[in-house]
Amino acid sequence: MKEGLIQQFEGYGEVARDIEVCRKYGIDYTLEKGSVEKFINRLHPGRMTLRVADIIEETPLDGTLRLVPEDGYLPPFQAGQYITVSLETGNIRTSRPYSIASPPNQTGYYDITVRRVKDGLVSNHLLDRVERDDVLVCSGPAGNFYHNPLIHDRSMVCIAGGSGITPFMSMIQEIVDCGLDREVFLFYGSRTLEEVIFRKRLEAIAGRFPNIHFHPVIENPPEGYGGYKGLITGSLVKDVVGDVPGTTFFICGPQGLYDFCVPELEKLGIPGKKIRTEAYAPAAPISNQPGWPENISPDDRFEIRIKDGKVFSARAGEPLLMTLEKEGIFVPSECRSGQCSRCRVKIISGKVFQPAGTPVRRSDRRYGYVHSCVSYPLEDLEIMI
């Protein structure tokens, strides 16, 4: 009936002809099998297998793994982004994000520099057990800590602590290799002079390129050390950089660095939007974080029940994600710092602690979804993965 009526409408003949012609000469969609995934993998592969081509000792604490692609292709990234290395160690399947230290214009390999963490599950595995020619499974590059020319100034003050130097190494090398019009003032806080990663390379770059300024700041310097000592204070930054308007500040390092430097910069009158921080995992013990309930010790244990799954006991002071991994329950993860939302799980009942400022979508809060990498059980929980 409908068809019959439509045929009476003015202009039907022409449209009907169009339909016929288009069907005749149109697109054979069956040829497109697999094309979306193949295409997207050039930019954002979900998974890469990278081979350790070289291991470079940087300092007594740090080593660089030079990773080359098994299939000959590395996706591009923006200097400052990270990859997440997945591995199994001590019967635990887990992952860790590492900023890529090599620049994006280096298309042959990614360097990741690993700092040894005392009792660190993954850092010790990567530094002690991984050998040349081993293969690592990694995520594609990700992360939001990079220079965005739409909002960030050409003049950058970069503040690094410890292994937080790696994204800046990538940025600085890209700037000098590609002749980008940017100026960098790098303040690199380190406990000792020996622990300054890439010191020789950074000194050499700063010596050759007038737009790169390198200032190590040493907490416990050797006697007679002539460089900057102590912590990276606002007044130090102001003395070195001078006028700060028209400058964007980038900070990367352990939590203590943010806790100290952000207020220092704010004291200089720098607006919040000019201060960009890389995601970081909260410092242990978690009970030192503001808002942690006084009546709960990190060693308290609670029962976790997975909907339709197993029941086990968890330590309050351990991120839920880590507990799940130890129980052999795989939850995908990338940043492990509460930013990327990859490890999102639903808390059906019970309470967790989430450090202040963790970006969780409003409606996720309402329905109990959390980033399991920065959620700590405060009660018995039922969760949905």
Partner 1 sequence: MQDYDVIVIGAGNGGLSAAATLAQNGMRVLILERHNIPGGSATSFCRGRFEFEVALHQLSGMGTTEQPGPLRSMLGRLGVLEELSFVEMPDLYRAFIPGKLDVTLPADRSGVLETLQKRFPGEKEAIGKFFELVYAYAIELYTFLRNPSAAQGTFPLLQRYAFKSAKDVLDEFFTDPLLKAVPGAYWGFIGLTPDRLSFSYLAILFFTYIEMKPCHIKGGSQALSNAILNAFLAHGGRIRFNCGAGKILVENGAVLGVITEDGDEITSKYVVSNASKITTFVDLIGREHIPEKFFDDMRGLSRSPSGFCVYVGLDREPAEMGIDASTTFILPDEDISGEQFKRMKVLDTENDMVAFSCYDVADPEFSPPGACQAVLVTLKYGEPWMRVPPRQYAREKYRCADAMIRQVEKVYPDFRGHMEEVEVATPLTFMRYLGTPGGSIYGFEQYMKDSLFFEQPRVSPVKGLFMAGGWVANCGFEPTLMSGKSAAGAILRMEG
Judged by the rule CB under 8 A, the positions of this chain that interact with partner 1 are 1-2, 5-6, 8-12, 14-15, 18-19, 22-24, 26-30, 32-36, 39-40, 42-44, 75-76, 78, 104, 107, 144, 148-151, 271, 273, 308, 331-332, 339, 341-344, 359-364, 366-367, 369, 384-385
User: Can you tell me the distance from the alpha carbon of 108 to that of 66, in angstroms, rounded to the nearest whole number?
Assistant: 10
Nearer to partner 1 by Cβ, of 145 and 228: the residue is 145
Q: Is residue 10 classed as helix, strand or coil in its secondary structure?
A: coil
Nearer to partner 1 by Cβ, of 33 and 208: the residue is 33
Q: How far is the CB of 287 from partner 1 (least distance, A)?
A: 26
Nearer to partner 1 by Cβ, of 49 and 107: the residue is 107
Q: How far is the CB of 83 from partner 1 (least distance, A)?
A: 16
At how many degrees (to 10) do helices 166-178 and 199-208 cross? 30
Q: How far is the CB of 193 from partner 1 (least distance, A)?
A: 35
Q: How far is the CB of 16 from partner 1 (least distance, A)?
A: 8
Nearer to partner 1 by Cβ, of 94 and 339: the residue is 339
User: Cα-flanking dihedrals φ and ψ of residue 313, to 5°?
Assistant: -105, 145
Strand (E) or helix (H) holding 381? strand 381-384
β partners of residue 345? 370
Q: Is residue 29 classed as helix, strand or coil in its secondary structure?
A: helix
Going by DSSP bridges, is the β-strand pair 183-190/212-218 parallel, antiparallel, or unpaired? parallel
Q: Please give, one letter per residue, the 3-state secondary structure of 169-229.
A: HHHHHHHHHHCCCCEEEEEEEECCCCCCCCHHHHHHHHHHCCCEEEEEEECCCCCCCCCEE
Nearer to partner 1 by Cβ, of 33 and 200: the residue is 33
Q: How far is the CB of 203 from partner 1 (least distance, A)?
A: 29
> Starting from the edge strand earliest in sequence, which strands make up the sheet with 82-89, in order?
92-99, 82-89, 135-138, 48-57, 62-69, 110-115
Nearer to partner 1 by Cβ, of 148 and 220: the residue is 148
Nearer to partner 1 by Cβ, of 59 and 372: the residue is 372
Q: How far is the CB of 156 from partner 1 (least distance, A)?
A: 16
Q: How far is the CB of 363 from partner 1 (least distance, A)?
A: 4
Going by DSSP bridges, is the β-strand pair 82-89/48-57 parallel, antiparallel, or unpaired? unpaired
User: Can you tell me the distance from the alpha carbon of 356 to that of 163, in angstroms, rounded to the nearest whole number?
Assistant: 24
Integer angstrom CA distances of residue 45 from 73, 138, 140, 246, 270: 11, 9, 5, 36, 38
Q: How far is the CB of 45 from partner 1 (least distance, A)?
A: 11
Quote the radius of gyration of the chain (alpha carbons, Å). Answer: 25
What is the token pair recorded at 148? Answer: 């965005």
Q: How far is the CB of 152 from partner 1 (least distance, A)?
A: 9
Q: Is residue 231 classed as helix, strand or coil in its secondary structure?
A: coil
What is the token pair recorded at 254? Answer: 């352990």
Nearer to partner 1 by Cβ, of 107 and 288: the residue is 107
Nearer to partner 1 by Cβ, of 5 and 210: the residue is 5
Nearer to partner 1 by Cβ, of 32 and 223: the residue is 32
Tell me the residue type at 245: P
Q: Is residue 163 classed as helix, strand or coil in its secondary structure?
A: helix
Q: How far is the CB of 384 from partner 1 (least distance, A)?
A: 8
User: Can you tell me the distance from the alpha carbon of 175 to that of 205, in angstroms, rounded to the nearest whole number?
Assistant: 11
